[in-house]
Amino acid sequence: MSDFYQVTANQALQGQIDISGAKNAVLPLMAATLLCKGVSIINNVPQLDDVATMADVLRYLGAKVSHQGSRLIINTHACHGHQAPYHLVTKMRASIYVLGPLLARLGRANVALPGGCAWGPRPIDLHLAGMQALAAKVELSHGNIHAYAGRLTGTDFTFATSSVGATVNMLLASVLASGTTRLFNAAIEPEIDNLIDQLNAMGANIFGKGSANLCIEGVDELKPVEISAIPDRIEAGTYLIAAAMSRGHVRLNQVIPEHLTALLAKLTDCGAHIECDPNGITLDARHKPLRPMSIKTGPYPQFATDLAPQWMAMCASLSGIAQITDTIYPDRFQHVDELNRLGANIRVRGNSAYIIGTGSLSGAPVKATDLRAGAALILAGIVAKGTTQVNQIYHLDRGYQDLTQKLAQLGASVQCCSSDKHSATAQLSLCG
Ligand code: EPZ
């Protein structure tokens, strides 16, 4: 059975929704529980495939993981494993986050090399260089990372490229190292701050939160704690772009506006009216036509690469020209061909896409090539004339909790359907 979303043209999105906890914050918080024995609790956890995959990795290592709604309980008393297998790591690249804590607590780790993704290579050289800088021995053989160490030893380490994942792994490894580790050019995404808060609550000594220069004084032992994940700024940004391109009026609750400064500035430049309060953001795009705006992605607090596909869908649906340059991933443009199937006029040259917005899109069958590309196609379908069928929607289950329900709350008609490939004609059974 292959599920797809049936998206019909909609009125302007109106209403309010609650934003879920951040996938990209929860995954490091889950990996950090491997650093000690005991029962850790993580609140505000979204129910997503990637969270389920990380839970399976922890279970494979011996942990007991259970859910109570958005509360995750992780018991690591019986955690003795040091292997993260290929079938799990290849499902989700962030499984590599277990490398640091396994080395720190057990002195060894066998982690399958994560594959690439839809838009090209996703190297892990910075992760491995960081472990070696902490005095771990690292060998690659038969598709696996074999790493081992006595006790890791604190060091100075400079990231050649700002890397969220490599910063996560270095934090998770250095907190139990002997001596002091100083990190330079570390990632400063909000998800890193969330992890630092958890580790310091566990008894770590990490200084410099919010800056690219971190100092970690290694300790001998950490204890389990309860922590809450921050709201998902990429989910929030996706719905704000949907509201803007549909000329709607939408309020997002349970979101931190400071985490979206670059996007909010660009939406304001486009002509949307934005109001923020400590717990929410309201966007109003009802009163004047929007202009497409060019963007360039970059490490936080610059415009997030994970919002660039959605931004492209908006620019393609407006009248005017715009350029999108991605400085994080030079080839993250798999969604261009699919948007062009919806009547967009987009050309790619190097790490830039050039959009000539014609002011309207027309519905057609398309396929999601990755998580954020799928989101972009749904947003385009919401404003396109007629019906858009978005296939390969399993990508979306990785990063958007209750997607169709939240869109329905805002007045969008996005239905999950299944086509039975074996019947003479595809029977559309609306699975709600
Ligand atoms: C995280 O991926 C996010 N994933 C990604 O979100 C996000 O796109 C990315 O950060 C950038 O913000 C999670 O947090 C689970 P990086 P990560 O290491 O850590 C290069 C989504 O849609 N690099 O910050 O893998 C890399 O190729 C996902 O939610 C190396 O060269 O990204 C890229 O060009 C997609 N060597 C740049 O650094 C390395 O060892 C930034 O990547 C590691 C990274």
Cα–Cα distance for residue pair 73/50, rounded to 1 Å: 16
Mean pLDDT of 384-397: 95
Nearest C-alpha to atom 27 of ligand 1 is from which residue? 122
Report which ligand 1 atom has the smallest distance to the Cα of 187: 24
For the record, the structure tokens of 249 come out as: 């009026």
Report which ligand 1 atom has the smallest distance to the Cα of 300: 12
Residue 117's pLDDT is what? 67
| pLDDT > 80? residue 118 | no
| pLDDT > 70? residue 425 | no
Q: Residue 57: CB partners within 8 Å, gap ≥ 6?
A: 84, 88, 89, 95, 98
For residue 19, how many other CB atoms are within 10 A of its CB? 25
Q: What is the pLDDT of residues 190-235, one digit of tens each?
A: 999 999 999 999 999 999 999 999 999 999 999 999 999 999 999 9
Cα–Cα distance for residue pair 28/62, rounded to 1 Å: 18
Residue among 117, 215, 276, 416 flagged as catalytic = 117
Residue 296's pLDDT is what? 98
Report which ligand 1 atom has the smallest distance to the Cα of 117: 35
Nearest C-alpha to atom 28 of ligand 1 is from which residue? 306
Cis ω for the linkage preceding 301 (within 30 of 0)? yes
Name which of 79, 71, 22, 32 is nearest 206 in CA terms.
Answer: 32
Long-range contacts (CB closer than 8 Å, 24 or more residues apart) made by 117-125? 117/93, 117/370, 118/334, 118/369, 118/370, 118/373, 119/329, 119/331, 119/332, 119/333, 119/334, 119/369, 119/370, 120/329, 120/330, 120/331, 120/332, 122/93, 124/96, 124/165, 124/166
Residue 279's pLDDT is what? 87
| pLDDT > 90? residue 424 | no
Q: What is the pLDDT of residues 276-293, one digit of tens each?
A: 998 899 999 999 889 999
| pLDDT > 60? residue 275 | yes
Q: Are 167 and 192 in contact (CB under 8 A)?
A: yes
| pLDDT > 50? residue 340 | yes
Residue 115's pLDDT is what? 65
Mean pLDDT of 235-246: 98
Q: Which of 23, 140, 164 to mutate to test the pocket of ligand 1 (most atoms within 8 A of CB)?
A: 164
Cα–Cα distance for residue pair 171/32, rounded to 1 Å: 9
- Spacing, Cα 165 to ligand 1 middle (Å): 6
Q: What angle do CA 41, 45, 47 make, to 5 degrees?
A: 130
Residue 428's pLDDT is what? 36
Helix (H, G, I), strand (E, B) or coil at 143: coil
Residues of the chain with pLDDT > 90, as a percent, come to: 88
- Spacing, Cα 162 to ligand 1 middle (Å): 9
| 215 is annotated as an active-site residue | no
Mean pLDDT of 1-19: 90
- Spacing, Cα 257 to ligand 1 middle (Å): 22
Dihedral (C-alpha) 174, 176, 177, 180: value to the nearest 10 degrees? Answer: 70
Question: What mean pLDDT, rounded, does the chain reach?
Answer: 94
Mean pLDDT of 50-76: 97
How are beta strands 108-112 and 144-148 bridged, if at all? antiparallel
| pLDDT > 50? residue 17 | yes
- Spacing, Cα 353 to ligand 1 middle (Å): 20
Report which ligand 1 atom has the smallest distance to the Cα of 50: 15
- Spacing, Cα 83 to ligand 1 middle (Å): 23
Cα–Cα distance for residue pair 101/198, rounded to 1 Å: 14
More confident residue, 15 or 85: 15
| pLDDT > 80? residue 95 | yes
pLDDT bucket at 421, cuts 50 / 70 / 90:
low
Distances (CA, A) of 122 to 50, 52, 113, 116, 119: 17, 22, 10, 5, 9
Nearest C-alpha to atom 33 of ligand 1 is from which residue? 328
Residue 339's pLDDT is what? 98
Instruction: Give whichever of 77-81, 263-267, 414-418 has the largest mean pLDDT.
Output: 263-267
More confident residue, 428 or 298: 298
Q: What is the pLDDT of residues 356-370, one digit of tens each?
A: 998 999 999 999 999
How many residues are listed for the chain in this entry? Answer: 432
For the record, the structure tokens of 65 come out as: 């993981």
Q: Are 100 and 111 in contact (CB under 8 A)?
A: no
Mutual angle of helices 49-60 and 23-32, in 10-degree steps = 10
pLDDT bucket at 246, cuts 50 / 70 / 90:
very high
Name which of 330, 375, 373 is nearest 353 in CA terms.
Answer: 330
Which residues have CB under 6 Å of ligand 1?
24, 27, 93-94, 122-127, 161, 163-166, 187, 305-306, 328-329, 371-372, 399
SS3 annotation, 297-342 = ECCCCCECHHHHHHHHHHHHHCEEEEEEECCCCCCCCCHHHHHHHC
Mean pLDDT of 378-388: 97
Residue 29's pLDDT is what? 98
For the record, the structure tokens of 366 come out as: 């398309």
- Spacing, Cα 38 to ligand 1 middle (Å): 30
Q: pTM for this structure? A: 0.96
Mean pLDDT of 171-179: 98
Report which ligand 1 atom has the smallest distance to the Cα of 370: 22
